[in-house]
Amino acid sequence: MPNVTPDNPLENTKVVYVKNTQVIDLVYVDTTTNTTLTTQNDVAHGDSGSTIPTSVTDTLNSTIQSYLDKGYVIDPDKVSGTVPDTFDFSDQTANGADKEHQVVTVYLKHGTVTVTGKDPKTPDDIIPDSNQNYPRGLTETDLSRTITRTIIVHYPSGTNQEIKQVVPYTRTATVDAVTKEVKYSAWTTKNSNWPKYVAPVVPGYTPDKDIIELTYVPADGKDVTVEINYTADPEPDEPATPVKPGEPITPVTPTKPGKQTTPVKPITPTKPGKQTTPVKATTPTKPGKQTKSVKPTKPEKPAKQIKHEVVKPVKGTKGKQLYGSPQAKVDSKAAQNVVDKTNGNNDKKLPQTNGESNWQLSLLGVGVLALALLVLKKKRDDE
């Protein structure tokens, strides 16, 4: 309360109080960008404690609606002010102005809308709770895609079969209703693989691709076409006519080998004696004048021939000369005995009369020796 100085201190001074004038303002704040959209100053004014006119509420509501039409929404996380029923009692300045206005603040934020491929939007569509149109980039192809592998089977009969393997990808779009900005989510899918495919079996034909493998498909993958063709199998060679087998041969039963005999120990040959130098034949002397031959005397009866023991040859040496062997030794002695006896008998029966007799005797001795050797050889051969 201000001080009052009376005009006449001796008299009562009348003090008259005048109501202060109060002012109400409306403020709109964008909490998305943390900026003040607009401020409506002195929307209404009145005396302290007086009723605030309803026009203030109308102004507030119409302004809020204008922002809602632009895509704004009331921020539920903030407490927005409402128009009070009466003006407050704030003080005035020295010049009578309201020192502190009554302010009603409304908090707004950008409205957002989520768009899916199942409910795509075009620029002709209106954003809910606004009068704004959707931006571009919200069609079905913008929010969903299907990547396809087409398998075409060309059968040998001339018919074709087409198999389509698809991997669908989808994403969502979030639209800022105020700025019309569109933000996309990542592409997602429940199955990101083309499945394995096995070529059909056609008897007598071979496919150029037996198996088409399972394949991962990225979101930015491209469509693929795979063709399967068949080639006829080569004709098998004609089987050769089997040869009729002959009659089986009965195996010969092998004879049981006899008991092995002990081999004969070979006879160690004796070392042959030193070879004597043959006697050089003497030149016969020229016979003298033939004399009257003397009638030979009757030869005596030859002595009984002594049977010479012959060593039986070792098996396997039949017909072979065994020089230095006992048999050869015996045969040589027998021949020498025959010669010696013959010579002895001749000495007795044919006494030397002259040189002709000696020469004839020499020839006779050689003949007898040759005959003896032939007889001995025949005996060996017969044995």
- The CATH number of residue 81's host domain is 3.10.20.470
Q: Which of 98, 249, 111 is nearest to 176 (CA)?
A: 111
Within this chain, do residues 227 and 129 fall inside the same structural domain, yes or no? yes
Q: Which of 87-96, 133-142, 300-309, 310-319 is least confident?
A: 310-319
Between β-strands 193-194 and 182-184, what pairing exists: parallel, antiparallel or unpaired?
unpaired
What confidence tier does 366 reach under pLDDT thresholds 50, 70, 90?
A: confident
Last residue of a domain, one of 110, 133, 149: 110
Residue 262 belongs to a domain: no
Residue 171 belongs to a domain: yes
105: containing domain: 21-110
Q: Which of 9-18, 111-120, 194-203, 292-301 is least confident?
A: 292-301
User: What angle separates helix 326-349 from helix 355-382, to the nearest 10 degrees?
Assistant: 150
What is the rounded CA–CA span in Å between residue 156 and residue 208? 12
Q: What is the mean pLDDT of residues 7-31?
A: 78
The tokens describing 254, both together, are 């092998």
Query: What DSSP designation does 274 have?
Result: P
Residue 289 belongs to a domain: no
What confidence tier does 315 reach under pLDDT thresholds 50, 70, 90?
A: very low
Residue 197 belongs to a domain: yes
pLDDT at 105: 96
Residue 297 belongs to a domain: no
- CATH assignment of the domain containing 173: 2.60.40.4300
Within this chain, do residues 119 and 227 fall inside the same structural domain, yes or no? yes
Contact (Cβ atoms closer than 8 angstroms) between residue 182 and residue 174: yes
What confidence tier does 208 reach under pLDDT thresholds 50, 70, 90?
A: very high
Residue 287 belongs to a domain: no
From residue 267, alpha-carbon distances to 272, 315, 326, 380 in Å are 14, 11, 9, 18
Q: 318 φ, ψ to 5°?
A: -60, 135
Q: What is the mean pLDDT of residues 289-297?
A: 48
What confidence tier does 313 reach under pLDDT thresholds 50, 70, 90?
A: very low
Between β-strands 144-154 and 160-170, what pairing exists: parallel, antiparallel or unpaired?
antiparallel
Q: Number of structural domains, the chain?
A: 3
pTM for the model stands at 0.52
